[in-house]
Amino acid sequence: MLNIVIFGAPGSGKGTQSVLIAQKYGLVHLSTGDILRDEIAKGTTIGKFANTLISKGDLVPDDLIIKLLNQKIIEHKGFCNGFIFDGFPRTVTQAQALDEMLAQNGKKLSLMLDLQVKESMLIDRLIARGKTSGRSDDNLETIQKRLTIYHHVTAPVVDFYKSTKRFNAISNNTTVEDCFLQIEKLIDSFKLI
Ligand code: AP5
Ligand code: MG
């Protein structure tokens, strides 16, 4: 059982690397951004509420996102090799809730991977993606807001994982392939323990 948090600023490559990790290690990829965009596409009450926040670059409230994620963990209980959590946790409250949710299901977090990318590169990658993504938050004004919230609200999550010795820094100022090589090395050495 391998449970991994992939962490990092908007555009740091969480989604891209999660797909590769899930494929190689047989994990269920849970992206809270994708879960919310799915609610928006279905036009649910949650989706309508989330859309107003996402398009401004704000976070959705902790209690809502924790409840949504918990439902997904329960849905897959007993049917997978583990999870890769992408875009969650984004606050210290969410990080504590994740440990509790995993413990309630007899699981624990193996590794936290912090994807580190230069700010100018993050902006360039998101602006480039915005040309085709159709995402309401991939425009310069909203990207800057997302980055500000990341620095103020989300970055402190790093200290939570450093204090519990599950933190691992990964540079993604490089290619997708090189970043994945670093991640594979870490996961493979973790599995040997
Ligand atoms: P979410 O969907 O999680 O967005 P995000 O964190 O802002 O991150 P992105 O998905 O934009 O980027 P990414 O890190 O996945 O990078 P990607 O691989 O796509 O959240 C969206 C919103 O939902 C939030 O703002 C919030 O409102 C809400 N939300 C979600 N979770 C929440 C939570 N837990 N609590 C509260 N609210 C929540 O890569 C980016 C681009 O770069 C791609 O085009 C990719 O092809 C390219 N790329 C990737 N790696 C490389 C590389 N090495 N070289 C060149 N290009 C690369
Ligand atoms: Mg993503």
Q: What is the CATH number of the domain that holds 184?
A: 3.40.50.300
pLDDT band at 80 (very low <50, low <70, confident <90, very high): confident
Count of residues for the chain?
Answer: 193
Segment 5-12 shows an average pLDDT of: 98
Does any domain span residue 104? yes
Model pLDDT for residues 33-71, shown as the tens digit of each residue: 999 999 999 999 999 999 999 999 999 999 999 999 999
User: Which ligand is closest to the CA of 150, given by its number?
Assistant: 1
Report residues whose beta carbon is within 6 angstroms of any ligand 1 atom. Answer: 8, 10-16, 32-33, 36, 53-54, 57-60, 65, 87-88, 90, 94, 125, 129, 137, 146, 172, 174-176, 179
Which atom, in ligand 1's list, is nearest to the CA of 58?
27
Model pLDDT for residues 121-165, shown as the tens digit of each residue: 999 999 999 999 999 999 999 999 999 999 999 999 999 999 988
Does any domain span residue 74? yes
Instruction: Give the percent of the chain with pLDDT over 70.
Output: 98
| Enclosing domain of residue 54 | 2-188
Distance CA 156, CA 91 (A): 7
Does any domain span residue 84? yes
Does any domain span residue 98? yes
CA of 45 to the centre of ligand 1 (A): 23
Distance CA 36, CA 39 (A): 5
Give yes or no for a contact between 24 and 130, defined as CB atoms under 8 angstroms apart: no
| Number of domains comprising the chain | 1
Q: Is pLDDT at 10 greater than 90 in this prediction?
A: yes
User: Residue 184: CB partners within 8 Å, gap ≥ 6?
Assistant: 24
Segment 110-124 shows an average pLDDT of: 98
Give yes or no for a contact between 90 and 157, defined as CB atoms under 8 angstroms apart: yes
Distance CA 169, CA 76 (A): 28
Q: What is the value of pTM for the model shown?
A: 0.98
Direct distance between the N- and C-terminal alpha carbons of the chain, in angstroms, rounded to an integer: 13
The amino acid sitting at 34 is D
pLDDT of residue 106: 87
Does any domain span residue 193? no
Does any domain span residue 16? yes
Does any domain span residue 78? yes
Does any domain span residue 43? yes
Q: What is the C-alpha R_g of the chain?
A: 16
Mutation probe of ligand 1 site: the residue of 58, 121, 129 with most atoms within 8 A of C-beta:
129
